[in-house]
Amino acid sequence: MNNEILLKHLRNVPDFPIPGIQFKDVSTLYKSARCLRIMVNELYDIYKDKGITKVVGIESRGFVVGAALAYKLGAGFIMARKPGKLPADTLKESYMKEYGKDTIEIHSDAITEKDIVLIHDDLLATGGSMLAAYNLVQQFNPKQTYINFIIELTIEGLNGMAKFPDNVEITTLIKI
């Protein structure tokens, strides 16, 4: 889609969080009412006829648009969080990042077999956190699972898309 307004508002932060990384800062998209509206409306148009019953947002940037989209779709919102942040029983999945290991959790009663789930995050680079979230969601055996990112980095060597099964529909709003 590569909406020019979104591209214009996206901030690049060199050498964050470590030297050599060119961080794509979506906070500049979130602080603009116009950009936030564009993102939620474009995602709504993609998913409005898919029967989504739950949107899973990955901590923390996936919470912003994920929750707004869940509201607009009339779906529930589920938080995929770092360990120790959710108060009830959880399922966990660990994954490797570019610079270390991490784990995410979802409440063990968050999703049912009747749900159609959209997992949302801000950015696809290596795909580690989303693959962990996808694997967590699959433990619930939902009817269908979709994946969405605001940004997909298509830099050689990252290959984030290649980590997911071919039968999973994955969409992105911006490819860089």
**Paired tokens of 116:** 């159609």
105 flagged as catalytic: no
The beta strand positions in the chain, using DSSP E, are: 11-14, 22-25, 54-58, 76-80, 90-97, 100-107, 116-124, 144-152, 169-175
Instruction: Give the chain's radius of gyration (CA, Å).
Output: 15
Q: How far apart are alpha carbons 150 and 39 in whole angstroms?
A: 8
3-state secondary structure of 155: coil
How would you classify the pairing of strands 22-25 and 11-14? antiparallel
Contact 123, 149 (CB under 8 A): yes
98 flagged as catalytic: yes
Q: How far apart are alpha carbons 36 and 91 in whole angstroms?
A: 31
Q: How far apart are alpha carbons 95 and 6 in whole angstroms?
A: 30
**Paired tokens of 41:** 């409306």
Catalytic, out of 34, 37, 61, 169: 61
Catalytic, out of 34, 98, 113, 169: 98
Catalytic residue list: 61, 98
